[in-house]
Amino acid sequence: MSLVVIAETLRRHFAHLGYIAALLILIVIVVTMAAIGAPSQAPYEMIGLFTLIAGCQLIGPEFSKGTLQLILSKPVGRSAYLVSRVVGVVLAIWVAILVMFASDVIGRLIAGTTISWRTALSTMLVAALKALLVCCLLAFFGSFSRSYVNVAIYVGGQILSSMIFGLLTMMKSAVSGEMGKIGALLRAHPGVLEGFAAIRRNVFPDGPIIPFDRNWILMMLCNASVALLLACVIFSRREVPYGAD
Amino acid sequence: MPTNLTFDRTKQRALPIWLLILTALLIIARVVSTKYPVTSETDVVRKSAPSLVRWTPISLASAAALRSHRPILYEFSAEWCGPCHILEREVFMDRALAAKINDRYIAVQVVDRQREEGHNEPAVQELMDRYNVNAFPTIVIAAADGKPRVKDVGYEGRDQFAALIDRVR
Residue-wise pLDDT for A181-238, tens only, equals: 888 888 888 788 888 888 888 898 887 767 788 888 999 999 999 999 999 999 888 7
- E strands in chain B: 72-78, 106-112, 138-142, 148-153
- pLDDT tens by residue, B9-29: 667 777 888 889 999 999 999
What residues in A contact B46, CB-CB < 8 Å?
A: none
Beta bridge partners of B142: B72, B148
Using CA atoms, how far apart are residues A35 and A42, in angstroms rounded to an integer?
Answer: 13
Euclidean distance between CA atoms A129 and A122, whole angstroms:
11
Mutate to test the interface with B, among A36, A82, A186, A209 (most CBs of B within 10 A): A209
Percent helix, strand, coil in chain A (nearest 5)?
80, 0, 20
pLDDT tier, B40 (very low <50, low <70, confident <90, very high otherwise): low
What residues of chain B lie within 8 A of the CB of A200, using their CB? none
> Closest residue of A to B154, CA-based?
A39
A162 touches chain B (CB under 8 A): no
Q: Cα distance from A224 to chain B (closest Cα, Å)?
A: 9
Contacts of A41 in chain B (CB under 8 A): 83
| 0.80 exceeded by pTM | no
Partners of B87 on chain A (C-beta within 8 Å) are none
Angle at A94 between CA A108 and CA A147, to 5 degrees: 130
**What is the H or E stretch that residue B67 is in?**
helix B58-68
Tell whether the model's pLDDT for residue A145 goes beyond 60. yes
Q: What is the pLDDT of residues A89-142, one digit of tens each?
A: 999 999 999 998 998 888 888 887 777 787 788 888 999 999 999 999 999 998
- CA–CA gap between residue A226 and residue B26 (Å, rounded): 9
Selected residue of A192, A218, A242 to mutate for chain B interface (largest B Cβ count, 10 A) = A218
Residue B29's φ and ψ, nearest 5 degrees, are: -60, -40
**Banded model confidence at residue B71, pLDDT cuts 50, 70, 90:** very high
Distance from CA of B66 to the nearest CA of A (A): 36
CB-CB under 8 Å, A218 with B30: yes
* pLDDT at residue A227, as a whole number: 94
